[in-house]
């Protein structure tokens, strides 16, 4: 695992692995979700190991991606990965545009708040900019031995919800009563995509008619066989 976010190879492009125009499984309300390609954190047991490599993804200018997000007309944007803070410079521009339009921004990261603070203290203006354009931060690596079965959207109990603005003033008090959701999308080509949390039994029930499902999927798992754990 890297101690600090990796500076983007090109600060003017986002490597987009997946774009989901509308979802209710990736944060509060109906949101647009963007998964980025590339991650230096690489948590053991990650549900999206295919997003670790920095090769691939659709290279997209921030203004074009922001326009696509705003055209989806949801209440906000959720950034996932991969690792958003490994592409902080370009994503900060996207997030700032979304915020300026009155929408909320939620960012997931495998880095801890201490690591992000250390990066900012070391002069990482890109990390500071993405934090400044984020309303709700979910921080910390996924730890497979500390599964969180009570809070929505997160994978393990060490992960923090950090309110960076006053956009969600009551969210922390309501977490225990907020249901988790899983969404399954079947494309015309037969490709099955799952996002949100699904435990073994729930995923098996959902996909019984499609394929065996002996695992969990999280944050945009593209399912052809069993999810990788």
Q: Residues of 143-157 as b/e, b for ≥16 C-beta within 10 angstroms?
A: beeebbeebbbbbbe
Alpha carbon distance 171, 56 (integer Å): 35
**Model confidence at 185: pLDDT above 80:** no
C-alpha distances in angstroms, 70 versus 21, 87, 108, 116?
10, 20, 20, 27
The three-state secondary structure class of 173 is helix
Q: Which residues contact 26 (CB under 8 A, 6 or more apart)?
A: 20, 33, 78, 80, 106, 153, 195, 196, 219
Q: For Cα atoms 222, 68, 206, give the angle at the middle one, nearest 5 degrees.
A: 30
Domain with CATH 3.20.20.70 in the chain: 14-172
Q: Which helix (H) or strand (E) holds 18?
A: strand 14-23
Q: Which residues contact 219 (CB under 8 A, 6 or more apart)?
A: 26, 35, 47, 48, 80, 81, 108, 195, 196
Q: For Cα atoms 19, 106, 2, give the angle at the middle one, nearest 5 degrees.
A: 85
The predicted pLDDT at position 211 comes to: 54
CATH homologous superfamily of 14-172 equals: Aldolase class I (3.20.20.70)
pLDDT digits (tens, 9 = 90+) for 85-141: 999 999 999 999 999 999 999 999 999 999 999 999 999 999 999 999 999 999 999
Torsion of Cα atoms, 17 then 180 then 229 then 161, to 10°: 70
The predicted pLDDT at position 9 comes to: 87
Between 195 and 223, name the one with better pLDDT.
Answer: 195
**Model confidence at 183: pLDDT above 80:** no
């Amino acid at each position: 695992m890297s101690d600090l976010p990796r500076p983007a190879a090109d600060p003017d492009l986002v490597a987009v692995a997946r774009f989901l125009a509308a979802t209710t499984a990736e944060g509060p309300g109906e949101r647009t979700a963007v998964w980025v390609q590339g991650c230096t954190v690489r948590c053991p047991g990650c549900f999206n190991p295919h997003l670790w490599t920095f090769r691939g993804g659709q290279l997209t200018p921030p203004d074009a991606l922001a326009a696509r997000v705003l055209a989806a007309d949801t209440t906000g944007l959720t950034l996932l990965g991969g690792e958003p803070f490994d592409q902080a410079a370009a994503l900060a521009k996207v997030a700032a545009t979304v915020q300026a339009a009155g929408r909320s921004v939620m960012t997931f990261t495998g880095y801890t708040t201490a690591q992000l603070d250390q990066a900012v203290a070391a002069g990482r203006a890109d990390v500071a900019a993405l934090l400044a354009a984020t309303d709700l931060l979910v921080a910390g690596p996924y730890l497979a031995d500390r599964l969180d079965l009570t809070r929505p959207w997160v994978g393990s109990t060490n992960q923090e919800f950090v309110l960076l603005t006053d956009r969600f003033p009551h969210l922390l008090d309501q977490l225990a009563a907020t249901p988790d959701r899983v969404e399954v999308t079947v494309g015309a080509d037969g490709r099955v995509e799952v996002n949100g949390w699904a435990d073994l039994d729930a995923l098996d029930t959902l996909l019984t008619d499609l394929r065996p499902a002996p695992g969990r999927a999280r944050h945009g798992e593209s399912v052809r066989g069993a999810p990788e754990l």
